[in-house]
Structure 1
Amino acid sequence: MATSLHDRALRCLATREHSRAELARKLGTLGNEDDVKAELDRLTELGLLSDARFADAFVRAKAARFGAARLRLELARRGVAAEQIGEAIADNCGDSELERARDIHRRKFAAAPGDAREWARQARFLQGRGFSTEIIRRVLKENPGDEPA
């Protein structure tokens, strides 16, 4: 039983980084809770399983498409501790939140909102991507070409 548990864990980790909670869920059907916990502890000791490394990889992969709030939510859903989430976002979001929001908005919409209905539609899009109300207001009130240098 322990060998198949270990093999499955290694196969999962070979495809991508996993959080401890994700891997525990995937291995839960192969063994009892104590066996799974022991295997996760072993993988952590060997340096093969790390929530911090998972959070870094996740943020690097998703930062160009999502705001900090969405990144925090997704990492929390995957069982990553709040302090590791904060460190991963601080370390891997090179551009400011405003710059990332501007970039995402430019890629999605050809023009600034022309009326209240379009403004609301664009604001909902950015909000769904995890940007704060303040950032959304700043992005949508700017006219193309008048960004600060």
Structure 2
Amino acid sequence: MKLTLSQGEPVCMNADIISRYGLKGGMTVPESAWAEIVHADVFRRARERAMYLLDYRGYSYAELVKKLMDNYDEDICFEVADKLAELGFLNDRRYAEALAVRLCETKLLGAYRALPYMREKGIPMRLIKEALEPYEETASERAAELVRKKYMKYYDPEDRAMMQKLKNALARQGYSFSEIKQAIELLGEEPDL
């Protein structure tokens, strides 16, 4: 809805905000009250933007604040993120766990590749470690599965150069040397290879 200020300057404001504050034509609003009204309108727009973003995909608290700061002031962004966290729409622990599932189970990445990716998303380190902990014991099995799915062309125990390519590929996917060694041992035990 469009309002016109006494100076003739038009201002667009949401109808809910106009209704909530009882704004009507010809009404005089004190400057302090006007600042509160404008803040409420900007907060509403930022919250709607945040909800739109969260509807598309998950975000960490820090990542959402950073994304909102492209269009809104820092204090509004933190206020919106705090409110959404309070309401349960924004939860770094839940986001970290979901991201760990996607990275470790779906993409079959090792911890050394998943951890920096999760850090980039603004997830606190303690939550990252908690989320990745269940995948520590199965790392070599996941590395072996990755070889079966993607790198089988490099698996040739008789060819050192090909095996080195395989090890390098697994290292790039975030697996440690010991995990790679165990994965290769697991593959060697399989009768159909």
Q: TM-score, normalised by structure 2?
A: 0.69
Whether 1:61 aligns to 2:105 is no
Tell me what 1:136 maps to. Answer: 180
Please name the residue that 1:12 is paired with.
Answer: 53
1:105 aligns with 2:147: yes
In the alignment, residue 72 of structure 1 is paired with which amino acid?
L
CA–CA distance in 2 between the matches of 1:94 and 1:120? Answer: 23
Using CA pairs under 8 Å that are at least 6 residues apart, name the structure with larger relative contact order, 1 or 2.
1
1:25 corresponds to 2:62:
no
How much does 1:138 deviate? 2.5
Measured after TM superposition, the shift of residue 106 of structure 1 is 1.2
**Letter aligned with residue 98 of structure 1:** S
* Structure 1 runs not aligned, ≥5 long: none
Question: Aligned pair count?
Answer: 145
Task: Identify if the C-alpha distance between structure 1 residues 126 and 94 changes in structure 2 by more than 3 Å, giving closer, same or farther.
Answer: closer
CA distances 1:84-134 after superposition (whole Å, capped 9, x unpaired): 11111124x396111111111111133523422212211121111110011
Which residue matches 2:10?
A: none
> In the alignment, which residue of structure 1 is the partner of 2:165?
121
Tell me the residue number matched to 1:72: 115
Label 1:86 to 1:58 Cα distance change in 2 as closer, same or farther (>3 A): same
Cα displacement string for residues 30-70 of structure 1 (whole angstroms, at most 9, x for unaligned residues): 21111111111111111111111110111111212211221
Q: Percent identity?
A: 27
Q: How many angstroms apart in 1 are the aligned matches of 2:133 and 2:124?
A: 14
Deviation at 1:140, TM superposition (A): 3.0
Larger Cα-atom Rg: 2
User: RMSD of aligned C-alpha atoms?
Assistant: 1.9
Q: Helix, strand or coil: the match of 1:17?
A: coil
Change (3 A) 1:94 1:140: closer
Q: What secondary structure does 1:10 align onto? A: helix
Letter in 1 for 2:93: A
**Equivalent position amino acid for 1:110 in 2:** M
